[in-house]
Structures are given as structure tokens and as C-alpha cells.
Amino acid sequence: MVEIKASRDDEQRRLDRILRKFSPDTPLSRIYSLLRKGKILVNGKKASADHASRRVMAGDVIAVPDELSAARNSATRNRASEASAVPPYLRSRIVFENDDLLVVNKSAGVAVHGGGFPQKQRNLAEMVESYLVGTIPHSLSFKPGPLHRLDQPTSGLVMFSKNLAGARLFTALIRERKIVKRYLALVDGRIERADMWRDDLVRNSAKRKTFVAEDKGAGSSASRQAETSVEPIASNAAHSLVLMEIHTGRTHQIRSQSALRGHPLAGDKKYGGSFLETGLLLHAYSLEFPPETGLPVLTAPLPPAFRQFIEDRHWRHKLLE
């Protein structure tokens, strides 16, 4: 038997879910079998299958058979061996870090999940996990991860939770719409006035594309409202540089709403944008939190290709300084 101790991040989680997280390669049926046979102890007492839904408290000592801990130990060793191989890329892209949260300025072309990173074939979530190995308290069930996503072609700020407290804080702020998320986008055509875009959007998983409700087609999800504030800050006859504040977080929200109004993102082939050698230019520029959190306003400088495009056109604005 191996004894493991529940941490603050495991507080109030179900025993069966903690065991599944602890040993993800073990089938749930095997975990229930071990519980029924009295092979798992909590604070020295046998935990039966009836106790699978029991809520674990910080400080509880859970004794598990060697077969459950073996897979966990193997995975931990693999992650630890990767820690020394954290790409310099990640270390150079950290914008903010405290005990609960980590914020990274992602480059265009880097996937947050899946996808992979050019040359290294590692996505941002994998790199962050490697970076955090050995730097955060051990948890039986909690795994650090991204709190929101950016499309692979989009650059800018991505926030990660280092513990359960960070995840819960971000989730609550998002639910209450207390985080201000601003983007800089290059769109086709001239946008001349500020506006609020409100649309009912649906996601077509087969086409991996987002549409307005009436154009959803077969295989689409139920519609959900999307809201985006739009403020043009520079333009010419061909393009507009726009500051966008999203009030909802729908997949491809900015890309689909821009295309709907005849101003697709330049370089965004999927949504009908004009050709742009750099690909689409969409940058998650800033995150602003309510004062009571004590978190600063976070900004990410524009990537070189985006900045060069602006400089070549001699566009000026205080946000670009």
C-alpha cells in the first residue's frame, strides 16, 4: 500500500474522481472493484464502493494499492524529466505569475491544446505543465491548465491556473463578466465608427466553423449570443485596425462576427478574408481585472509581423506606443 495525502486543491472532491485523476490509466471499473474489496483506505478505514461519492478533505490520508500508484509514479517521472527541457520560448513569454496564476504571451502558430508547436511539437499547455513541475504543491487530482483558449493563428495573452484557487477565481470572474478582454484585429475594408455587435452564433463541428443562427446547417449546436464592442483606431481604403472587447467567449466569435458584417479578418481564409502573407492578424492585447483581485492590467506587445504592418502604413494611436 502507498499512502497519499490530500491537499487544499483536493478539498471537497469526490473520492472516486480523485482516484481516477490520481491514476488516469486505471479503468474506473477497476477503481470501484478495489473499493468494493476494501483495498482502499481513508484515514485508516476501509472505503467501500458506497463511499465513492464521499467528499475528501484537505489532510485526509488515502492508502491505495501499489497498482494505482505505479502508473502515477511513471507519469510523474516523465513530467519531471521534461522539466529541464522547457523551451526557452516559454520562459521568454511569461507576462505575469503569482501563487495562483500564470499568464503567457502566445505567438501566432502555437497551439494552446493539441496541434503542437513548430519544431518542438509541444503545445503551450504541455510547456506550462513542464515549467510548473516541482514549483507548485503536489495535488492528487488537480492539474494546472489553461483557463481559456486562443485559436492557433491568434497571438496574445493566455491565462493558466496553478491551483484550484486560481481556477475558481477566474471562473467566477468570467461568469460574472468582470474580466475585460481586449483584442487588436486587422480587418478588410474601412470601419468608420464604434459599434456593438450582437449575434446569435452556432458552432458547426463538422465544418469547424461558426455561423449566425439562420445559416447554421446540419451538425450545428444550439445558438448562443455573442457580444463584441468594436472601436476603429486606424484605417485606409483596404484595411482597418480595430480594438475589440469581447463580452462573451464564443468559439471564433471575432472571426465570424467580423465576416458577417463584410469585414473579415485580413488573411483569414476560413472566413473569406483577403490574402495576407502573414496570415490573419488577431492579438489578445489585454486582460483587465476588478480592483478587489489586486491583479494588474496585463498587456502583451504586438508581435513583430503585426507591428511591421502598422508601421509600414504610418498608423498612429496611443495603444501602439
Domain boundary among 155, 176, 197: 176
| Distance between CA atoms of residues 124 and 151, nearest Å | 12
Query: What nine digits make up the cell of 298?
Result: 496585463
For residues 69 and 105, membership in a common domain is answered with: no
Instruction: Take residue 93 and report the three cell numbers written for it.
Output: 513569454
Q: What is the CATH number of the domain that holds 141?
A: 3.30.2350.10
53 and 132 share a domain?
Answer: no
Same domain, 171 and 182: no
pLDDT: which is higher, 59 or 231: 231
Instruction: Tell me: pLDDT of 135 over 80.
Output: no
Q: Does 142 share its domain with 239?
A: no
Residue with cell 482516484: 19
Looking at the structure of the chain, the number of domains it has is: 3
| Amino acid found at 212 | V
Per mean pLDDT, which range of 39-53, 99-113, 163-177, 294-308 is the poorest? 39-53
**29-63 pLDDT tens trace:** 888 888 888 888 888 888 876 777 888 888 888 88
- Which uninterrupted H or E stretch holds 226? strand 224-235
The C-alpha cell 496553478 sits at 162
Q: Per residue in 246-279, pLDDT tens? A: 999 999 999 999 999 999 999 999 999 999 999 9
Q: Are residues 193 and 308 in the same domain?
A: yes
| pLDDT higher than threshold 60 for residue 116 | no
Q: What is the pLDDT of residues 56-101, one digit of tens each?
A: 888 888 888 887 766 555 555 454 444 445 678 888 999 999 999 9
Q: List the domain range (segments joined by +) for residue 275.
A: 178-321
CB 266 within 8 A of CB 187: yes
Q: What is the pLDDT of residue 138?
A: 65
Q: Which of 126, 142, 176 is a domain's end point?
A: 176
Considering the domain architecture, whether residues 165 and 183 belong to the same structural domain is answered as no
447554421: which residue's cell? Answer: 216
